């Protein structure tokens, strides 16, 4: 078959067009890969670890990449647990552990202060993060750690002839060292009173976590004997830690800074008190938390539900700062008339009742005292000077004499 010149030109143009299309496809694919890499590179932290949005919110401390990779989910869960426990412990207080950052910064607003509440927030956050890291190691969700197989020296149940074996215990010391490396980097570089206060309260949180451990054992052998037993240590429920820290909050010590030398040391304000690492410390006195001040980390008591008949902290008189309360009628739905049906279910009815709800009133906005004094001074009549008073008295005396002369 004979192909003319037009056929050769057609084949040449076809091959050229196909090559151009292949080149453009490679260029488009390369640009797409580059754009995707750049877009995903925004999620990389400065340490080079790829973090999600929620992990960046929880892990704003500069730590090692391995620490972030293995423990960041436990850190986020620990901060959430700290907020929940803090709100439970302070549910009857004027400051009820308010979160103003939509769950992003957690307790960051109140930790900017140096009050008792700030001391509790630092301690409960440290303890909760160490607690969650310990549980992640026990469940083998964390590849960096496992369980603690050291020998248990506590007295356990069993007879004289029983033998004890150590099983997988909670590795609390590893969790504390990791938590200290996460939170301690930013505070070790600072040399001020607030950093020393936070470091002291974090160590108190670690001590409370170590304290609330229990030993559990499992017996092996015949039913009535315990020939061989396997024992391990595990952390108690975090509620025990929260209650212990709340009692330490009530016994917190106010401290100041000793000006002896470069190493900062904290000293109690009262000379008779003794400073120990078992107690929380603070630098500033707490406000009354009655007014609305979101910049300082609290929203006031307006709208808080109070107990009318209580004389404690949850009572309307103390909780509402003496501003009074208002009563509203609300419909409340509850489960009632519950009965057990065979087998095995509990059936309840839904009952509606009207309940009195007492809420705190909002406080009146007061002007500044300086402005009020200025207004009072402007309203008062200005008193004349001493020489002006004498001249006025003389003129009044002369006018009175003139009046007497005219009448006579």
Count the neighbouring beta carbons within 10 Å of the beta carbon of residue 3. Answer: 9
The model's pTM is 0.69
Q: Would you state the torsion angle of the CA atoms of residues 277, 280, 284, 287, taken in this order, to the nearest 10 degrees?
A: 180
In eight-state DSSP terms, residue 144 is T
Q: At what angle do helices 238-250 and 65-89 cross, to 10 degrees?
A: 70
Q: To which residue do tokens 């009173």 refer?
A: 193
| Listed residue (219, 361, 194, 221) closest to 282, CA to CA | 194
Cβ contacts of 186 within 8 Å, gap of 6 or more: 61, 62
CA 119 – CA 135 distance, rounded (Å): 25
pLDDT in tens, the chain (408 residues): 445 666 666 666 776 777 776 666 655 555 554 444 333 333 333 333 333 333 444 544 444 555 556 578 888 899 999 999 999 999 999 998 887 555 454 577 778 888 999 999 999 999 999 999 998 888 877 777 877 777 776 554 555 445 566 778 888 998 998 898 888 766 666 678 888 899 999 999 999 999 999 988 888 777 666 778 888 889 999 999 999 999 999 999 999 988 666 677 888 998 888 888 889 999 999 999 999 888 887 888 999 999 999 988 889 999 999 899 999 998 989 899 999 888 788 899 999 989 999 999 987 655 444 445 445 555 555 555 555 555 555 555 545 554 545 444
Task: Return the pLDDT at 137.
Answer: 86
**Do the beta carbons of residue 284 and residue 115 sit within 8 Å?**
yes
What the block records as the tokens of 159 is: 């007879």
Task: Return the pLDDT at 284.
Answer: 92
Task: Return the pLDDT at 42.
Answer: 34
**Across the strands, what pairs with 234?**
214
Task: Return the pLDDT at 186.
Answer: 61
CA 260 – CA 14 distance, rounded (Å): 88
Q: Sign of torsion, CA 84 85 87 91? A: positive
| Listed residue (135, 139, 169, 134) closest to 154, CA to CA | 169
In order, the DSSP letters of 147-211 are -B-PPP-S--S--TT-EEEE--B--HHHHHHHHHHHHHHHHHS--SHHHHHHHHHHHHHHHHHHH
**Do the beta carbons of residue 164 and residue 145 sit within 8 Å?**
no
What the block records as the tokens of 387 is: 């020489």
CA 376 – CA 349 distance, rounded (Å): 65
In eight-state DSSP terms, residue 278 is T
Domains, the chain, in order of start with CATH, read: 53-146+172-211+238-291 (no CATH), 306-360 (3.30.2460.20)
Task: Return the pLDDT at 396.
Answer: 54
**Do the beta carbons of residue 357 and residue 305 sit within 8 Å?**
yes
Cβ contacts of 220 within 8 Å, gap of 6 or more: 226, 227, 228, 229, 230
């Amino acid at each position: 078959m004979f192909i003319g010149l037009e056929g050769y030109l057609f084949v040449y143009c076809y091959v050229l067009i196909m090559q151009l299309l292949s080149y453009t496809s490679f260029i488009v694919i390369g640009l797409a890969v580059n754009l995707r890499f750049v877009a995903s590179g925004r999620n990389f932290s400065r340490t080079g670890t790829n973090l999600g949005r929620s992990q960046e919110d929880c892990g704003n401390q500069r730590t090692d990449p391995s620490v972030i990779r293995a423990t960041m989910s436990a850190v986020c869960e620990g901060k959430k647990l700290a907020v929940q426990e803090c709100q439970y412990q302070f549910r009857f207080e004027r400051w009820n552990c308010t979160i103003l950052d939509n769950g992003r910064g957690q307790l960051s607003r109140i930790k900017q202060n140096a009050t008792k509440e700030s001391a509790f927030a630092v301690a409960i956050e440290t303890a909760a993060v160490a607690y969650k890291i310990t549980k992640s190691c026990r469940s083998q969700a964390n590849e960096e750690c496992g369980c603690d197989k050291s020998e248990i020296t506590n007295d356990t149940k069993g007879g004289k002839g029983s033998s004890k074996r150590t099983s997988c215990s909670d590795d609390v010391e590893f969790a504390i060292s990791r938590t200290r490396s996460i939170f301690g980097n930013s505070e070790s570089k600072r040399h001020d009173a607030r950093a020393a206060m936070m470091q002291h309260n974090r160590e108190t949180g670690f001590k409370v976590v170590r304290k609330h451990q229990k030993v559990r054992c499992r017996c092996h052998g015949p039913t009535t004997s315990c020939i061989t037993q396997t024992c391990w240590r595990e952390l108690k429920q975090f509620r025990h830690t929260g209650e212990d820290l709340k009692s330490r909050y009530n016994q917190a010590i106010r401290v100041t800074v000793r000006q002896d030398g470069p190493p900062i040391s904290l000293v109690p304000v009262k000379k008779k008190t003794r400073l120990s690492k078992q107690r929380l410390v603070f630098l500033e006195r707490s406000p009354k938390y009655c007014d609305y001040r979101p910049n300082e980390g609290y929203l006031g008591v307006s709208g808080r539900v109070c107990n009318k008949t209580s004389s404690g902290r949850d009572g309307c008189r103390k909780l509402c700062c003496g501003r009074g309360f208002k009563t509203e009628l609300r419909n409340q739905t509850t489960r009632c008339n519950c009965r057990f049906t065979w087998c095995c279910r509990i059936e309840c009815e839904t009952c509606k009742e009207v309940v009195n709800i007492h809420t705190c009133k909002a406080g009146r906005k007061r002007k500044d005292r300086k402005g009020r004094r200025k207004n009072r001074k402007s309203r008062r009549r200005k008193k004349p000077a001493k020489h002006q008073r004498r001249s006025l008295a003389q003129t009044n005396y002369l006018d009175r004499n003139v009046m007497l002369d005219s009448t006579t």
